[in-house]
């Protein structure tokens, strides 16, 4: 019987989007009685995910910085991690993993790579091209990070802003498109799909944004409230972690009739998590309108945190997020919240493209972000009816059936069960 293999080096725990996104695929195939096996990072703590067995195989996660000052470092990272990806997939097929039997997908099977970036994509394609031509599975790769370029002239050309990032993706596309068919690519959101399509020279379709906390079928709250979510995600300095204590002092005092929440949790209790807790817990005792969520939330609790928020802030550093995406933007748009984001970044361009409500800040300081939150409170740029309309348009384009239809068009085993 045809089998689905999920290869996800980023699946090291339950924080972030990895486990959430993998569970979407597991549920999709389990509902159709198609067997699924997940291959995650060696640190993944459990033997299964949503009922599917997990093999803790990969030794490296996905995120490696694109260094703009030491260009040789980018090439070193590219060669090292792509080679490692190839070697670990070859080892998997040969059964060289803790005495486990060999697993090598073959003809009629499906390989899904739920999240892949440029420092491992070429290694993945190389492994695929090493398989016997008559016994290759279908392989679908879901591209999450920025492409290193911006599509211009209606997608006819790509303006390069990171030469190495664009080059590394281009090399992977060329290796895939110039060899036997069987690989296809999808991009995280419509704007990235345009960028990747211009770079590849062939269409890269956007995938439904179910890797976030978006719930396409959930009803939208019709009335305004007084709740602002100031931070959501892993505790990272580039996400404005160090701004939070002063933001809390300012906003909780300035708007005593509003409730402010912070959600931050790491895979492990690291130095940043400890520092954050030490700074914020005394403030929760001082301000009755501050709510802290410093442990991992269930999917339902995480969604509820967004769903009850009227404002969602992303106090991120502009230099780091000039082109980087964030699921927080889509999660906020999907529940009709007003976003507070850094100006001149993808985080501001995306809600503008979607017709959603947003306010920007300039300087990456606690005062600037707090003032932007206050503007969103006192003079929201879009009323709730307008934000609901934007949310409905957005959710209509990001439904589970879209995911099923895309896979069925490329994998015959699902074609008869695509409903």
- Tens place of pLDDT per residue across the chain (419 aa): 799 999 999 999 887 788 999 999 999 999 999 999 999 999 999 999 999 999 999 998 866 555 566 778 888 889 999 999 999 999 988 766 555 666 889 999 999 999 999 999 999 999 999 999 889 999 999 999 999 999 998 888 899 999 999 999 999 999 999 987 899 999 999 999 999 999 999 999 999 998 777 899 999 999 999 999 999 988 888 999 999 999 999 999 999 999 999 998 865 556 767 787 888 999 999 999 999 998 888 889 999 999 999 999 999 999 888 998 999 999 999 999 999 999 999 999 999 999 999 999 999 999 999 999 999 999 999 999 999 999 999 999 999 999 999 999 999 888 766 55
Provide the whole-model pTM: 0.91
* pLDDT at res. 67: 58
Domain 4-208+399-415 has CATH 3.90.1150.10: no
- Calculate helix-pair angle for 163-177, 118-130, nearest 10 degrees: 20
* pLDDT at res. 16: 77
* pLDDT at res. 418: 57
* pLDDT at res. 267: 58
Range(s) within the chain of domains with CATH label 3.40.50.2000: 4-208+399-415, 227-396
Sequence-distant (6+) residues with CB within 8 A of 197 are 151, 155, 187, 203, 204
227-396 CATH pick, 3.40.190.10, 3.40.640.10, 2.60.40.10, 3.40.50.2000: 3.40.50.2000
Cα(first)–Cα(last) distance of the chain, in Å? 20
Of 363, 366, 362, 373, residue with least CA distance to 339: 373
Distance (Å, whole) CA 281 – CA 231: 15
* pLDDT at res. 150: 94
E strands present in 128-243: 138-143, 149-152, 157-160, 183-188, 205-207, 227-233
* pLDDT at res. 155: 82
At which residue do the structure tokens 């989007």 appear? 17
* pLDDT at res. 64: 54
Tell how many helices (H) and how many strands (E) occur in the chain: 14, 16
């Amino acid at each position: 019987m045809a089998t689905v293999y999920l290869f996800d080096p980023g699946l090291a725990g339950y924080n972030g989007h990895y486990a959430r996104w993998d569970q979407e695929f597991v549920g999709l195939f389990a509902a159709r009685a198609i067997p699924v096996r997940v291959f995650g990072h060696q640190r993944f703590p459990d033997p299964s995910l949503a009922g599917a067995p997990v093999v803790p195989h990969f030794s490296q996660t996905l995120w490696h910085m694109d260094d703009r000052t030491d260009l040789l470092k980018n090439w070193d990272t590219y060669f090292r991690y792509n080679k490692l990806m190839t070697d670990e997939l070859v080892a998997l097929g040969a059964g060289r993993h803790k005495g486990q039997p060999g697993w090598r997908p073959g003809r009629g099977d499906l390989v899904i790579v739920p999240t892949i970036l440029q420092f491992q994509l070429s290694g993945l394609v190389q492994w695929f091209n090493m398989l016997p031509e008559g016994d290759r599975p279908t392989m679908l790769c879901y591209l999450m990070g920025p492409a290193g370029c911006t599509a211009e002239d209606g997608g006819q050309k790509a303006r390069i802003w990171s030469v190495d990032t664009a080059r590394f993706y281009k090399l992977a596309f060329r290796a895939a498109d110039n060899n036997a068919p069987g690989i296809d690519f999808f991009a995280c959101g419509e704007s990235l799909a345009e960028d990747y399509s211009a770079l590849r020279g062939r269409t890269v379709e956007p995938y439904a944004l179910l890797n976030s906390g978006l719930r396409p079928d959930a009803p939208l709250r019709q009335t305004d409230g007084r709740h602002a979510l100031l931070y959501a995600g892993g505790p990272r300095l580039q996400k404005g972690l160090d701004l939070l204590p002063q933001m809390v002092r300012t906003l909780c005092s300035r708007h005593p009739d509003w409730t402010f929440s912070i959600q931050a949790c790491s895979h492990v209790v690291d130095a940043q998590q400890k520092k954050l807790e030490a700074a914020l817990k005394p403030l929760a005792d001082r301000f009755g309108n501050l709510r802290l969520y410093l442990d991992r939330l269930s999917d339902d609790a995480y969604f509820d945190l967004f769903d009850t928020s009227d404002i969602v802030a992303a106090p991120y550093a502009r230099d780091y997020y000039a082109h980087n995406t964030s699921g927080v933007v889509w999660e906020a748009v999907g529940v009709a919240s007003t976003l507070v984001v850094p100006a001149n970044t993808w985080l501001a361009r995306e809600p503008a493209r979607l017709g959603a409500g947003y306010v920007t800040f300039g300087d990456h300081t606690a005062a600037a972000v707090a003032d932007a939150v206050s503007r969103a409170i006192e003079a929201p740029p879009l009323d709730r009816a307008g934000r609901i309309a934007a949310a409905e348009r957005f959710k209509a384009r990001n439904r589970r059936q879209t995911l099923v239809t895309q896979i069925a068009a490329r994998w015959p085993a699902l074609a008869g069960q695509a409903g």
